[in-house]
Every structure is written in structure tokens, then in C-alpha cells.
A and B are shown apart, each in its own frame.
Chain A
């Protein structure tokens, strides 16, 4: 068996997905504000380190905005709605009286230190998870998954690829539609224009996916029982090294007492960056 003896550039197509699953597991298992913040910081550093010009990658900066919006929204909801929490009152929002059957739930009212902490914890967790998966989505070409997924599951593979390529393609379409709006002399970005952006963006993505599916279909993807490799797509030592960091922390987190969280956090922050070393 002779395959092309050319050094594969970058990681295995599944690398960033493995990395994302491990990292997000750590974040979920440890579940503290510090860990989530460390994950956010590390993700941003990785995004800066692996920056490139392909359009898959430009999607990250848009997801970053989405993560910020999600964070702000979660904070706002946390302040506004929920069961009353004890503790030092930081400030008081005007409270709305709810009917009696909604006992224990409040709308507005005093915001305590404890509420601030729990809201912050959940909001950072949310932002961290969004960013982790956005990073893996933006650093791997979704199409390359087609090459490693088993061909027997042709339609599942195709559906997966279309699903993972929606975000980057939508980003590309959004910028296209925004340009069109500018060229047509439309002022502002009001809410009324959202419908005008969303529908063409969906249509665009759909059209690309249909084109891709037609191309795969006419190239015989999924029809021939035996498939071969031009270039070995083996999981290499660099891939293992790259995901080892979050993997170690996950094992440690599952085995150790959670009180060691701070130490783990520092360790985690450093180890999460192992893809940089592995590259």
C-alpha cells in the first residue's frame, strides 16, 4: 500500500472535535467561574494563535460576538428572574408583583452577592461552551469530516457536514447580505431588517449545501463498498499530544477532590494550550 508520503498539514480532521469535547467536559465537571474564565482565555489565545484567512476561520469573530450577547443576556435574566437568594444586597431593581400561584419566583427585586456569583458562574459557563465549540468549528474544515466518517453512513455523514458547515457559511452569507444592503443604500441595522437578512442567509446556505450534495452524489460518494486513502488520515502522535492536556485535567478533575479546583484551574489553563505545542 503506497499512500502519498507528504506531511499532513495541521491536525487530524477530528482533532478539534475531540479537543472540544474534552475541554468542555472539564468545564462542566469542575463548573466554577474561574475554570470557565480560564477556558475562555485559553480559547481566545488559541484562536489568535491559529488565525488564518480561510472563511471557516473568520466565523470565530462572529461567534465571539454571539458569546458576548449570550453572556450579557444570561446576566440580565439572572438578575431579573429567579428564586430569592439570601446574602448581602448589592442593589435593588424595581420588583413586579406576580400572581400568588407563582410562589417563590420573583421578577426584579434585590440582587444579592450570592445571586451575582451564581449568575456569573452560569453566564461564563455558557460563554465558555459557545467559544470552545466555535473554535473547533472554525479551525477544522467541516468538509474534511466527510473523509474520515464511515461511508456506510452516507446520509448521516452528509447531514453532519451540512450541520457543521452552517455556521461558517451563514457568516459568509451575512457579510454578503450586509454588503448588498450597503450597496443598495439602506441605512441602519434595525430590527425590521432582520427578516431581510435571515431569509437570504438561509437560502444561500441551502443552495451551497445542495450544490455540495449534488457534487458528492455525482462523484459516487457512498456508493462504492470499498474506499481507499490517498493520504493517510491516521491519528498521529501530535494529535494525541494536542488533546492530552485537557484529557489529563479531566481525569484529575474526576478523581480528585473538587477543593483542588484552583490548582486544577491553573494547570488546566496551561494544558488546554497543548495544541500550540503539538503543532
Chain B
């Protein structure tokens, strides 16, 4: 289906070759995962396959790539539209129509498919992706997961032989992600579709894929079955890490396989608990809060929410897409309109805090870290933050350097990887030293390495500097690693508030891999399991 022969790619004005002298083949009907560190070139490889690179973005390509027997070097992406469908990282930017149904049909209109055929195909795809109830809805009113499904439907409706997806589940809650992935799985099995997707959250996809392409980032890549690659891959999901820690002979890819292979371990209590931080004064208190969505007349986003967050604790806010998490966070910084109730940050109403007073009390890292950035280079951003936050020159840069391994300071913030952008936004917020730090979905597009750095930073901020952290996230594994307490929102109401292990283990969809793999323990992270086995041996 896809044939890469001695392919090299380099972007102009860039020293690094993305891939160098790479050859591989992908067969028809395969489900392939593309993985690698952030910035390793996953998106570039995906876009090479349908010709967007280099036809649309520029770049110097050597070697030959053929897709379904057609060579991409002479054909433009548009000429491959009938065999290749692609779903980008940010579907919201790519929609052409207002209405779900029209958006899906647009793909067929451009291909000139006869109207009666078109009607049938649209119906089929609507059914396949469970979009029938939403068909007349305005796309801008849909949740992130629903938009993702619309984008997949719009790509699938043209009956492509090959579907390319760039991080299709990064914006989705665990349940929605599972839905999308099982739909893809079914398409591969029933229709013989070839699927290639890139993803960071391996724990979600690895059980579905046949083969893995691992991009090392130095120009080489590795292609093998999922098990082969997982045996030695530097990037691995918690389940694989656990299997490695237990020295298991075969590497299990799903929880079911793990349970078959693993010895039964039963421990009543949590042996190696890290010991809770003692809590300080209340930093965020929310009282009977009701709030609306920022830009719509829809029903309440939040109703009668009560919560308190104290100094020294890290609290995770979870819930499905559209449950009101972002609205709650925005209320905490005074960005969303409060209808009823009270929000107090260190005793003050955040909506009334102006200028430097706001960031001295609460720092907010939005879902898109770029939303916080407007400088022309990382250095300029840091200098601006020093001035805004009234701290000594260079202190923001100092924080940034401590967060990032290879800081590239002259780059434009838009050109660096997702992880570096997040690091920059976080440094800007941290340099103002607000007692309360709020992060909205910080792990979108972060690899395991970047996540580890984030976890360490947040833990340090909470434990040593006695601040409070509130994170909203879909990333179950991150929550297991970092949070002391979990709040669960459903349809605007707070339905659970308890310790991380309690809340996560109560719901099968939100349980981390370790808890699923070792159901008779109270462990939720690989570290806890490792500590136990190390103590035993």
C-alpha cells in the first residue's frame, strides 16, 4: 500500500534531517502506529504519505514514495484525495461547512460523486461513527470528541484505501478515545482499510495496532510488530514498563494479556505510599457555583459546585468532554461569567483582580499554551515575563532552563515542540510565584519524557514551595502519577471528590493501566509496584 524507498527529508533553514535514507513498506489492511518523541517528525512522516510534505509545506525530499501504486513526487495531495484521507491535529481549523452533514458531504462534492451515491455514503458514515443524532448540528457547538469524529467521518466518506490520523485522541476523554479507536479497529478488520496514526498516549492505542514505526529523531526509524518494538523502545506505556520491571518473558500489550501472564499478586494495603503532604491554608474556595458557557446560550456549564483547594496539594479535575472542566478552571481565574455562587482565590474574587494582582494570586496555563504567548522568540517571552512579573532579569529564563533539557532560545515559540511551548508558558506563570496554579489539559502532545518533567516540577511546586495546583486532564496516567486528590465532574455537577486511588479505581474507564493489570492491589503507578518488588527481592 505504501512504499518508502530511500527517502530523506530536510526542511529548508533547518540543520536537522527529519528522516534519512529510510525504506519501508506498509501492506494493505494494516493498522500502524507512528511513535516518537515530540518534535521527532511524526506529523512530517504522515504528511509525506499524502504529499502535503513537500508540496504544501516545502522541504527537500529525495528518494521515492508510492501510495497505492501512485508516486507522490509527481502527484499533488489533491490528486490522491480519492485514495488517502487525512485527519489533522486540529480538526476545528479545517472545517469548511457549518453543519455536520454538509461537512461530511463536502469531501464527496469535491470528488464529483453522483448525488444518489453521495446520500447513501453520507448515511453510512453517519451511522458508522454514531453521528446520526448530531447530523443537523452546528459544528462549532460540538465538543472536541464529536468534532474529531466529524473529521474522521469527512475523511472516511470518500472511501479511501488509506487513512492517516495525527494524534486523533489527544483531545478526547478516555471513553471517547476508546470509541474512536475501536471504530478504527473495526474499519481495519471489516473493510480492509489501512490506518496509520501517530499518538503519544500509547496506553490507549497499543493494543489495537499491528505494527509500530518508531521515529528515533536522528533520521532513522524502526519498524516492527508492536511486541518487538516495545521490548526495547525508550518510550513505553505503563503496562509495558510494569512488565519490564517484573522481568516478564513476553511483553503484554493489553491488560488482558498481562493478567494471563503475570503472577497473581495480592496485597491488602498500599505498601509504599509516598506519604501525604500536610495541607496549608485554603487557596481556592468555590461555593455553590453556577456558570454558563462563555459564548453560548446553552444550559449551565456548571451547577452548584462546591470545593476547596489548600496549599500543598495537587488536585486533578476529570470528567468527559464537555462536562464543564474548562469552565470551572476559567471561573477560578475570573474568565468565565459566574451566574450564581462565589469564587474566592486567597479570599479575593478573581474577576475583580486586575493587572499584576491577578497573576500574583493565581496563574493559569490555558489548553493551548500558545494562547499565553505573544513574543517573537523564547528569549523575548522570558524578558517580557520578567518585566510583567516584576522579578529580577533572567529569572524566567532560569526556570525555563531548569524545565527543558535542550533549550533553544532564539526560536519562535510557534516553531518549537508542544512540550517546549508548555514549558515556556509554565515558566512564565511560575516566575510570578502565584500561590495557586491552574493548568488546563497540559499533556496534549507531550511525550512520556516531557510528562515526567512536568510531574516532577508540579510535585516540587506543591511540596516544597507550598503552593496549590489544579489540573484538568483526560490523561489518567498523569493523574495517577501526580495528583493527591481527584474531582470528577459530570454534566456540570461535581460527583466525586476523593483520593486519587479511590476515585480512579471506582470507574473502569478511568482506571490507570497498573490498577487494571493488578486489580487486587491498591497501586496506580508503576513506581509503587516497583518499590514493592524491590523491597521483596
**Chain A interface residues (CB < 8 Å from chain B):** 1-4, 6, 9, 53-55, 58, 141, 143-144, 146-147, 151, 176-177, 179-188, 196-197, 199-200, 203, 207-208, 211-231
Q: Which residues of B have CB within 8 Å of A181?
A: 374
Cβ contact of A141, chosen from B98, B354, B428, cutoff 8 A:
B98
Indicate if the CB atoms of B374 and A231 lie closer than 8 Å.
no
Chain B positions within 8 Å of A, measured between CB atoms, are 50, 52, 55-56, 76-82, 84-86, 88, 90, 93-99, 101-102, 105-116, 118-119, 122, 136, 138, 140-141, 154, 158, 295-297, 333, 335, 354-360, 363-364, 366, 371-376, 384-385, 388-389, 414, 428, 432
Q: How far is the CB of A161 from chain B (nearest CB, A)?
A: 9
Sorted from nearest, which 5 A-B pairs have the closest CB atoms? Answer: A220-B81, A230-B105, A215-B94, A185-B359, A187-B355
Contacts of A226 in B (CB 8 A): 112
Q: Check B388–A186 contact: CB distance below 8 A.
A: yes
B residues within 8 A CB of A53? 141, 295-297
Closest-by-CB residue of B relative to A209 is: B93
Question: Shortest distance in angstroms between A255's beta carbon and chain B's nearest beta carbon?
Answer: 39
Q: Are A180 and B371 in contact (CB under 8 A)?
A: yes
Q: Which residues of A contact B357 (CB under 8 A)?
A: 185
Pick from A147, A179, A211: contact of B335, CB below 8 A: A179
12 A-B residue pairings within 8 Å (CB atoms): A3-B115, A54-B140, A144-B97, A144-B98, A147-B97, A180-B374, A185-B358, A203-B414, A215-B95, A217-B77, A227-B110, A230-B102
Known interface pairs A147-B109, A183-B333, A212-B93; 12 further A-B residue pairs with C-beta atoms within 8 A, sorted by A's residue number: A3-B115, A4-B101, A181-B374, A184-B428, A185-B356, A213-B56, A217-B77, A219-B107, A226-B112, A227-B109, A228-B108, A231-B102
Question: In the complex, which of the residues A188, A225, A230 contacts B118, with contact meaning CB atoms closer than 8 Å?
Answer: A230
Closest Cβ of chain A: how far from B471's Cβ, in Å? 16
B136 / chain A contacts, CB cutoff of 8 Å: 6
Instruction: List the A side residues contacting B115 at CB < 8 Å.
Output: 1-3, 228-230
The reply to whether B88 and A211 form a contact with Cβ atoms under 8 Å apart is: yes
Q: Are B113 and A228 in contact, CB atoms less than 8 angstroms apart?
A: yes
Cβ–Cβ contact A222 & B78, under 8 A: yes
Minimum Cβ distance to chain A for residue B341 (Å): 22
Q: Is the CB of A223 within 8 A of B81?
A: yes
- Using Cβ atoms and an 8 Å threshold, which residues of chain A touch B414? 203, 207
Q: Closest approach, in angstroms, between the C-beta of A145 and any C-beta of chain B?
A: 10
- Whether the pair A4, B119 counts as a contact (CB closer than 8 A) is yes
Residue contact A214 to B88, C-beta cutoff 8 Å: yes
Which residue of chain B is the closest to A198 with respect to CB atoms?
B374
Interface centre among B296, B374, B432 (most CB of A within 10 A): B374
Given contacts A217-B52, A218-B52, contact A231 B81 (CB under 8 A): no
Report how far A176 CA is from B364 CA in the complex, Å: 14
B187 to chain A, nearest CB (A): 19
What is the bound-complex CA distance between A55 and B294, given in angstroms?
12
Complex Cα–Cα for A146 and B414 (A): 29
Contacts of B158 in A (CB 8 A): 219-220
Per the bound structure, the CA–CA distance linking A221 and B111 in Å amounts to 8
- Contact A54–B119 (Cβ < 8 Å): no
Given contacts A185-B355, A231-B102, contact A220 B88 (CB under 8 A): no
Check B93–A187 contact: CB distance below 8 A. no
Nearest chain A residue, comparing its CB with the CB of B368: A176
Contact residues in A for B297 (Cβ distance below 8 Å): 53
Residues of B within 8 A of A199 (CB): 374, 376
Contact with B374, one of A9, A197, A219 (Cβ below 8 angstroms): A197
Select one of B107, B119, B364, B428 contacting A2, CB under 8 A: B119
In the complex, chain B residues whose CB is within 8 Å of the CB of A214: 52, 56, 77, 88, 94
| Cα of A220 to Cα of B79 in the assembled complex, Å | 6
The answer, among B88, B122, B295, B385, for a CB contact under 8 Å with A230, is B122
Chain A residues contacting B428 (CB-CB under 8 Å) are: 184
A180 and B77 in contact (CB under 8 A), knowing A185-B432, A214-B56, A227-B112? Answer: no
Q: Are A228 and B109 in contact (CB under 8 A)?
A: yes
Taking CB atoms, residues of chain A closer than 8 Å to B366 are 179-180, 183
CB <8 Å contact, A200 and B109 = no
Q: Known A176-B371, A177-B374, A229-B109; judge A221-B78 contact (CB<8 A).
A: yes
Nearest A-chain residue to B86, judged by Cβ: A218
**Which residues of chain A are within 8 angstroms of B88 by Cβ–Cβ distance?**
211, 214-215
Contact present for A219 and B110 (CB under 8 Å) = yes
Query: Nearest residue in A to B51 (C-beta to C-beta)?
Result: A218
Nearest CB in chain A: distance from B115 CB, A: 5
Query: What's the least CB distance linking B485 to chain A, in Å?
Result: 25
Q: Is the CB of A2 within 8 A of B295?
A: no
Residues of B within 8 A of A55 (CB): 140, 295
Q: What residues on B are CB-neighbors of A179 within 8 Å?
A: 335, 366, 371
- List chain B residues, Cβ under 8 A from A203: 414
List chain B residues, Cβ under 8 A from A6: 101, 136
- List A contacts of B364 (CB < 8 A): 183
